[in-house]
Amino acid sequence: MTNLIALDWGTSSLRAARLADDGLVLEERSLPRGILTVAPGGFPQVFEEICGDWMHAADALALICGMAGSRQGWVEAAYCACPAGFADVATRLTWVEPGRIAMVPGLTCDNEGVPDVIRGEETQIFGALELLGLDEATLVLPGTHSKWARVTAGRIARFSTFMTGEFYALLRQHSILARTMPDVDGDLDEAAFERGVGHALHSSTLLHSAFSARTLALFGRLPADALPSYLSGLVIGEELGAQHLAGGEDVVVIGSEALTRRYELALRLLGITAQRAGSEATWRGLRAIASTLRSGR
């Protein structure tokens, strides 16, 4: 385990870390080489670029999670069905180079006859569970496509995807709502954000509530500078409203500081406490998967 090389290779970014046995991050690197920037056949070269030197160690093991394991990635790692825990994922690795480089599979889950998928988030979830010492939890990974997961007995029982960040970007940039907004988002206006969350929680659907960002502007009831924060509250409020969370419940939020702050504010309006886990969760998750391989190597 001395030379575990952990890679988080997503759609738009690539991060790598060299980890010590105790999980300490010895060195960290990143490149703007998400899989969308890599031509077919180009993955070995980018891999060499980010961690070729680290791989010279005789016992080096690279574990890769994220979209690099998708059909558009380096090597396709078939989805693992839910419920799934560390061990399930660890036994379903797809080896790019036997014993040296492996791809962590994503998960699939059946939501009333419709499949849902995650790739990379399963590793963050496993890591967050370890970091927080939990084996029962409701977790959210906010982003372009937010993922909500329910963990029971240490395994991901089910999850579902919400296109929250993407809807925000579409409405912010391409919809009629953009016309009354400033060109660039300013700092978060917490009051406007919370007003948006509150309105979404009492509204039937975002198709309707989103229009309030237009009428409140038209009637001078919300200044233009506050509209992006208000709209962010509308989409996040819509996402939270769909979770049917019980007041008093904790939710683990895994994400960037800025997004975590928004979810924390929104959850508070529902009487729910957020526990935080950051990007370190990915390294911790990969280390946990690697530890199950120790006996087999």
Footprint on this chain of a second copy (rule: CB under 8 A):
112, 114-117, 145, 160-164, 166-167, 170-171, 173-176, 199, 202, 204-208, 210-212, 215-216, 218-219, 221, 235, 238-239, 241-242, 244
Full DSSP string of 139-172:
EEE-STTEEEEEEETTEEEEEEEE-HHHHHHHHH
Of the two residues 103 and 206, which places its CB atom closer to a second copy in the complex? 206
Q: What is the maximal distance between C-alpha atoms in the chain?
A: 68
Q: Cβ distance 156 to 84 under 8 Å?
A: yes
Of the two residues 124 and 243, which places its CB atom closer to a second copy in the complex? 243
N- to C-terminal Cα distance for the chain? Answer: 10
3-class SS at 194? Answer: helix
Of the two residues 147 and 284, which places its CB atom closer to a second copy in the complex? 147
Beta bridge partners of 150: 138, 158
Cα–Cα distances in Å, from 291 out to 19, 49, 133? 12, 26, 17
Tell the smallest beta-carbon distance from residue 141 to a second copy (Å).
14
- The residue behind tokens 């997961």 is 149
Of the two residues 204 and 295, which places its CB atom closer to a second copy in the complex? 204
Tell the smallest beta-carbon distance from residue 66 to a second copy (Å).
16
Of the two residues 174 and 297, which places its CB atom closer to a second copy in the complex? 174
